[in-house]
Structure formats: structure tokens, C-alpha cells
């Protein structure tokens, strides 16, 4: 009797085990596929513009449990894909759905602000822009959206006051701030003070320095100056350094603090062997904002040697060598041995 029961159990258990193994295989396959898709979506969230297709993004919306501990809902990326492809209503609905999945993040509110701004629904854009900036002012996007949502920016006071709420001011925050106050009609005292602060913190940050100079001289003047420099460069390429100098003077009048223009004038005079004039302009360069400091010491040093100030000039050339300027090694052999 026991033998018959064993045989009976085996008879029924074997198919059940096979079926169970098959179902387990399918289950593991689904889990693995879900994992692969989710990892792709996670990587896509790091892209400024999502790369996934709508079909790929929709595959994340599975009833199978999420096996990743990841705080951003996968529907957020689906919403980004919809936004990219101009399915604005679907994007809005998806971002709202993602908010319910994780109500503590502001990423979906950020994308809602972007979507409403894109489709011109200003009231909704303003609502979400104010919300994200109020709750997380340190994020550059939140600050930028908040500034865009303001109705009137005749002077810099609103921008200044919102900027002061930001505790951690990254370089991106500074760029947004400087670009924003540039577009106002007048600058308040706080803005003038902040410009000086930015200038001292970021002396070698090209974008920030350009914005500061645009605020000082005007963007149109900087553009005209660049056009004149291009003309002077063409003349210099033809070895017409004498002709390039007056053009560079004109450019310098529009952009008085340009180290690049001062460098070009100094170089042109050097090529013409007018070493006193070359030294005069090289000395006008602001070394705190000059990246080619080794070149600065080299040109200054050779000018001094040519003006019969060998000891002083060789010190400058040696300083250039210490800063890694290879041309200074050749100059040292020629002038200082």
C-alpha cells in the first residue's frame, strides 16, 4: 500500500515539479527583463534629453514589483519621453501620476513647470515654479524657472532677493543670476555688490567673466569688439602688425578690461621690435584673470632684456620656465646664459 502511494505521489508530483520549474523560469525571466529595462531607464534619467523610445519607456510600467531601490519613479522618465516628443497632455498626466508614487521629490514638479512653460500655460508654470523654488532653492533649474515666472523685472530687486535665499550658490546659479540681472532695466546696490563678489570668486570662469563684462560694457559693445579683433587677427596673419594695432586700439576702447586684446597689442609691438610699447601693454594685463601666466612672464622678460634690463628680464623668463612654458627654456638659452 505504501509503495502504491509513493508511486502515486511521484506520478502527480513530477508533472507539478516540471510545471513549477517552468513557471519559476518564466518568473525569473520577467524579473531579469524588468531589471534590464529599469537599469536602462535609470541611465536615461542621467541624460539631459532622454534617449529611450516611448515603447521602451512604457515597458517600465509593469505590474511586476520594482526590484531596484530607486527613489525617482520610473514614470518620471516616461513623462520626460512624452515631453521630448511633444505629447504634452500625456506628459502632464504621467508626471502627476509619478508624484503620487513619490510625493517627497520635486523632480516631477520641475518637469511640470517645464511642460507648462513650453505650452504657454503661465499660471500653472508660475505655480510649480514657485513651489520648487520655495522648497529647494539651491537647484539651478528651480532658480531659473522662478526668475522666468516673474511678471515684471524692471529692476534687479526681485532677482536679488530670491538670489539671497539660495544658501549654496554654485557657478551655474551665478550664471543664471548674472544673465537675469543683465535683462533688467536697472541694477540695485545688491546687484552691484554681487557682481563684485562673482568677479572675485570666479576670476578665470570664462562664462561668468563674460557676463560681468557684458553688464559693465554692454553685450553689443563686446560683440563689436570681437568683430574688430577678428579683423586685426587677419592682418596679423599677413604679418601686417602695424595695421593691426589701430584696429586693436579701437577694440580695446569698447572692451577696456580684455586681457586678450592687451596681449595682442603687446605681441604686435613685440613683432615690430617696439619693446617699450610692448612692455607697457603687457604690464596692463590683469594676471589674476589671465590663464597664460607663463606666456605673460616670457613676453615681459624678453621685452626687459631687449630694453637692457637683463637681470630683471631673466628673472621673468625663469619664472615662466617654472610655470612650464617650453618657449621660455629657449629664451633662457638665448638671452640669459
CATH label of the domain that carries residue 309: 1.25.40.10
Say yes or no to pLDDT of 65 above 60.
no
Q: What is the pLDDT of residues 201-235, one digit of tens each?
A: 999 899 999 999 999 999 999 999 999 999 999 99
Rounded to the nearest integer, the mean pLDDT of the chain is 85
Would you say residue 187 has pLDDT above 90? no
What pLDDT sits at residue 70?
Answer: 47
Statement to judge: residues 211 and 279 lie in one domain: no
| Claim to verify: residue 257 and residue 316 sit in the same structural domain | yes
246 and 177 inside one domain: no
Element (H, E) at 4: helix 2-45
Same domain, 193 and 280: no
Give 10's pLDDT tier (boundaries 50, 70, 90): low
Residue 115 inside a domain? The answer is no
Q: Are residue 176 and residue 270 in the same domain, yes or no?
A: no
Claim to verify: residue 197 and residue 223 sit in the same structural domain = no
Domain identity same for 187 and 212: yes
- 122-125 contacts at long range (C-beta below 8 A, 24 or more positions apart): 122/149, 125/149
Residue 301 belongs to some domain of the structure: yes
Q: Do 35 and 68 touch, CB atoms closer than 8 A?
A: yes
Percent of the chain at pLDDT above 70? Answer: 83
On whether residue 42 sits in a domain, the answer given is no
**Cβ-count burial 105-125 (b if 16+ within 10 Å, e if not):** bbbbbbbbbbbbbeeeeeebb
What is the model's pTM? Answer: 0.74
Beta-carbon contacts of 261 under 8 Å, excluding residues fewer than 6 positions away, are 225, 229, 248, 251, 252, 255
Count of domains forming the chain: 2
Q: Is the pLDDT of residue 178 over 60?
A: yes
Whether residue 11 has pLDDT greater than 70: no
Q: Are residues 302 and 242 located together in one domain of the fold? A: yes
Same domain, 226 and 329: yes
Residue 25 lies in a domain: no
Contact 96, 108 (CB under 8 A): yes
Write down which residue in 201, 217, 233 finishes a domain.
217
pLDDT at 26: 39
Q: pLDDT at position 78, please?
A: 87
pLDDT above 90 for 302: yes
Greater confidence, 212 or 25? 212
Residue 20 belongs to some domain of the structure: no
Domain boundary among 165, 195, 217: 217
Pairwise pLDDT comparison (134 vs 62), residue with the higher score = 134
Quick one: 239 and 308 in the same domain?
A: yes
Radius of gyration of the CA atoms of the chain, in A: 32
- Please report the pLDDT score of residue 2 as a whole number: 47
Residue 113 lies in a domain: no
Range in 59-63, 149-153, 310-314 with the lowest mean pLDDT = 59-63
| 260 and 164 in a common domain | no
Confidence of residue 9 (pLDDT cuts 50, 70, 90): low
Verify that 170 and 273 share a domain, yes or no. Answer: no
- The Cβ of residue 134 has, within 10 Å, a number of other Cβ atoms equal to 12
In 10 A of CB 246, how many CB atoms? Answer: 12
- What is the distance between the alpha carbons of residues 152 and 184, in angstroms, rounded to a whole number? 9
61, part of any domain = no
Domain hosting residue 290, numbered range: 219-335
pLDDT of the residue at 52: 79
Lowest mean pLDDT among 63-77, 121-135, 208-222: 63-77
Flag whether 315 is in a domain: yes
Q: Among 173, 188, 217, which residue terminates a domain?
A: 217
The C-alpha torsion from 27 through 30 and 35 to 36, rounded to 10°, is: 140
Amino acid at each position: 500500500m505504501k509503495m502504491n502511494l509513493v508511486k502515486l505521489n511521484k506520478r502527480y508530483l513530477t508533472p507539478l515539479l516540471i510545471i513549477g520549474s517552468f513557471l519559476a523560469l518564466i518568473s525569473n525571466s520577467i524579473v531579469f527583463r524588468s531589471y534590464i529595462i529599469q537599469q536602462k531607464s535609470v541611465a536615461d534619467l542621467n541624460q539631459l534629453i532622454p534617449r529611450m523610445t516611448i515603447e521602451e519607456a512604457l515597458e517600465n510600467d509593469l505590474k511586476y514589483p520594482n526590484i531596484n531601490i530607486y527613489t525617482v519613479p520610473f514614470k518620471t522618465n516616461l513623462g520626460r519621453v512624452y515631453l521630448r516628443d511633444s505629447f504634452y497632455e500625456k506628459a502632464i498626466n504621467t508626471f502627476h501620476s509619478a508624484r503620487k508614487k513619490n510625493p517627497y521629490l520635486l523632480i516631477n514638479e520641475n518637469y511640470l513647470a517645464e511642460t507648462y512653460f513650453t505650452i504657454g500655460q503661465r499660471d500653472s508654470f508660475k505655480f510649480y515654479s514657485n513651489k520648487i523654488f520655495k522648497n529647494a532653492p539651491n537647484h539651478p533649474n528651480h532658480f531659473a524657472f522662478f526668475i522666468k515666472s516673474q511678471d515684471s523685472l524692471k529692476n534687479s530687486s526681485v532677482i536679488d532677493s530670491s538670489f539671497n535665499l539660495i544658501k549654496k550658490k554654485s557657478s551655474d546659479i551665478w550664471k543664471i543670476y548674472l544673465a537675469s540681472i543683465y535683462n533688467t532695466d536697472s541694477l540695485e546696490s545688491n546687484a552691484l555688490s554681487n557682481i563684485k563678489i562673482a568677479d572675485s570668486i570666479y576670476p578665470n570662469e570664462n562664462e561668468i567673466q563674460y557676463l560681468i563684462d557684458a553688464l559693465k560694457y554692454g553685450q553689443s559693445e563686446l560683440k563689436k569688439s570681437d568683430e574688430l579683433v577678428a579683423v586685426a587677427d587677419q592682418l596679423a596673419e599677413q604679418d601686417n602688425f602695424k595695421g593691426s594695432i589701430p584696429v586693436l586700439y579701437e577694440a580695446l576702447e569698447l572692451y577696456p578690461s580684455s586681457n586678450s586684446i592687451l596681449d595682442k597689442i603687446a605681441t604686435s609691438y613685440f613683432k615690430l621690435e617696439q619693446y617699450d610699447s610692448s612692455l607697457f601693454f603687457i604690464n596692463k594685463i590683469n594676471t589674476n584673470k589671465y590663464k597664460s601666466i607663463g606666456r605673460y612672464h616670457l613676453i615681459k622678460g624678453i621685452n626687459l632684456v631687449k630694453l637692457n634690463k637683463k637681470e630683471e628680464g631673466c628673472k621673468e623668463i625663469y619664472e615662466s620656465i617654472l610655470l612650464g612654458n617650453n618657449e621660455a627654456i629657449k629664451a633662457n638659452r638665448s638671452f640669459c646664459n
